[in-house]
Amino acid sequence: MAILESKLTFGGMMVTLAALALGASLVLLAACAPAAAPTPSPIPATAAPPAAKATTAPAAPPVAKATAAPAATTAAAPPKTTSSALAQVIEGAKKEAKVSIMIQSDLAGEKVKEIREGIKKNYGLDLEIGAVPSASYPAALAQAISEFKAGATPSLDFMPASDLSTVQGMQAGVIEKVDWEPLLAPGTPKEVIKEGGYGINTFQSHLGLVYDPRVIPAAEAPKSFADLGNPKWRNKIAMYNYANNYLTYAYVLGPEKFVPQLRAIMSNNPAAEIYANGQRRYMSGEYPILLTSSQIYLQIKKAGVPVEFVSPDISWLQNHNMILIKGSKVPNAARLVAAFLAGPDGHKIHNSVSRGSMLYPGNVEFDLHEIDQKAGLRVFQQDKSPESVQFFLSDKGKQVEKEIGDILQGK
C-alpha cells in the first residue's frame, strides 16, 4: 500500500505499488549489498504459505464497511530473563556480524548510527548495518522475487513493504515466516506482528491532502476527491503519482465513482510526481494543495510552513512492515534489527523523522485519527479488509489500476 521520498509507499505506504509483474531492477540494491556473511546458526524452518486461490472481483466492488477505531494495543510483558529464542538469535547474529537492509530514505543516512547503537545497547553486539534507501516497495519486492526464483543470494536481508506487498510476497513464497513474539523488546505491542509472522510493523501513516491556510480558508478547503475536481483548483494541485494508492480509493468509493473523479482532477492540470517533489513544490509556495502522506505533512509543519491536513473521503491508516527475505545468509541479524525497529526504541528513531504509529501513544497519527473521527470519517485499514486485498489481486483490480495509471499519465 503506503511511504515516500522517492519511494513508494504503500507506503508504503508505501511507493508506486505496482503488480508483482513489475520487474524494475534496483541496481542500487545490488551495489550496496554486503559480501556474503558466515553461515548462520540454524533456525527452524517454517512452512510456505498456501497458494492463494484465484479471485474474481465483481464489476463494482462493494463499498467498504465502516470500521472501528484501532483497538488498544497489548504490550509484550517485560521478560525477567532473555528468552531462549532471543538468546539463540543474538548468538547467531554475533557470528553473522553484518546485515544488509532497505529502509526509508530519511533513516538510511545518519540514523543508521542510532539504530546500530540501539542494537548494541539492547543486545550487546555491534552489527555492521548496510542500509539503502527505499525507492519503491513493489519494485524492491519484484527484485527479491526475481532473485528468489533464480536461486540467487538475496541482495537484501529485509526490506519494507505495504500490507499489499506483504501479501504478494507471501504468495510468491519469498518471505520468511518468523515467530516474532519471543523476540519483541519489552513494551512492544504484539499488534506489530502482521500476517501471522510474515511481516512486522515498524510505523504507520495516514494518506490525505494538505493545503496552505494562507491561500485557502478552512471553509473553502477541499474535503474530497470530488472537491478536487472543481475547476477553481486548476493549476493549484500537486499530487503523488502512485496508481496503487488511488486504487485503494477506487475500491472504497467504487471504481465507477472514483475514476471519473480522478479524470476531473487531472483536467485541472495538477503536477503528478513523487512525494518528495510534491513536498518541495508545496513548501516553495508553487502549489497550495498537495496530496501526500502524514509524514510529509509533519515535516512541512516542523519546517515552519503553514499547513493543514485533510483526509479525503475516508480515514486511511497504512501499515509499513518489514519482511525478511528467504535465503538470507544472515537471518539472525535480520531478525534482530527488524525486532528492534518495531520496538519502543525503534519507534523513537522513527518518530524523530516524523514517522508515527497508532500502536504507540503520543504522535501525529493519533492526532490525525482524532480529527478524522470528529469529522465522522470511516476508518480503512487494508490488513483488516481481506476483501480489498482480493480485489487488488484480481483481474478486475489490475484492470482498474491500469486505467488509473493511464489517467495519471494523461492518456
Taking residues 174-200, what's their average pLDDT? Answer: 97
pLDDT tens-digit series, residues 114-134: 999 999 999 999 999 999 999
How far is residue 252's CA from residue 63's CA, in Å, rounded to a whole number? 5
Statement: residue 318 has pLDDT above 80 = yes
The average pLDDT across 330-358 equals 96
pLDDT at position 43 over 70: no
Determine which of 13-17, 161-165, 339-343, 364-368 has the lowest per-residue pLDDT on average: 13-17
Region 41-61: what's the mean pLDDT? 38
pLDDT tens for 124-167 read 999 999 999 998 888 899 999 999 999 999 999 999 999 989 99
Q: Taking the model in full, what pTM does it have?
A: 0.76
Cα separation, 243 vs 401, whole angstroms: 6
- pLDDT at residue 64, as a whole number: 39
Distance CA 195, CA 199 (A): 6
Q: Hey, which CATH number is domain 206-316+402-408, 3.40.190.10, 1.10.3720.10, 3.20.20.70, 3.90.1640.30?
A: 3.40.190.10
**Contact of 397 with 256, CB cutoff 8 Å:** no
Share of the chain above pLDDT 70, in %: 80
Closest CA to 101 of 167, 34, 150: 34
Residue boundaries of the structural domains of the chain: 10-41+76-204+318-360, 206-316+402-408
What are 369-395's pLDDT values in tens digits?
999 999 999 999 999 999 999 999 999
Q: 291: which residues sit within 8 A by CB, 6+ positions away?
A: 208, 209, 237, 238, 239, 240, 278
What would the CATH number be for the domain defined by 10-41+76-204+318-360?
3.40.190.10
Among candidate residues 383, 321, 335, the one with its CA nearest the CA of residue 176: 335
Write down the pLDDT at residue 136. 84
The number of residues in the chain equals 411
Q: For residues 91 and 394, give the distance between their C-alpha atoms in angstroms, rounded to a whole number.
A: 43
Q: Where is pLDDT greater, at 369 or 62?
A: 369
CB atoms within 10 A of CB 166: 29
Provide the strand spans (E) within 116-236: 128-133, 158-161, 193-194, 199-211
Which pLDDT belongs to residue 195?
95
pLDDT above 90: percentage of residues in the chain: 75
How far apart CA 239 and CA 292 sit, in angstroms, is 7
Tell me, yes or no, if the two domains 10-41+76-204+318-360 and 206-316+402-408 fold the same way.
yes
Mean pLDDT of 176-185: 98
Q: Provide the pLDDT for residue 135.
A: 80
Q: What is the pLDDT of residues 189-204, one digit of tens each?
A: 999 999 999 999 999 9
Taking all residues of the chain, what is their mean pLDDT, rounded to a whole number?
84
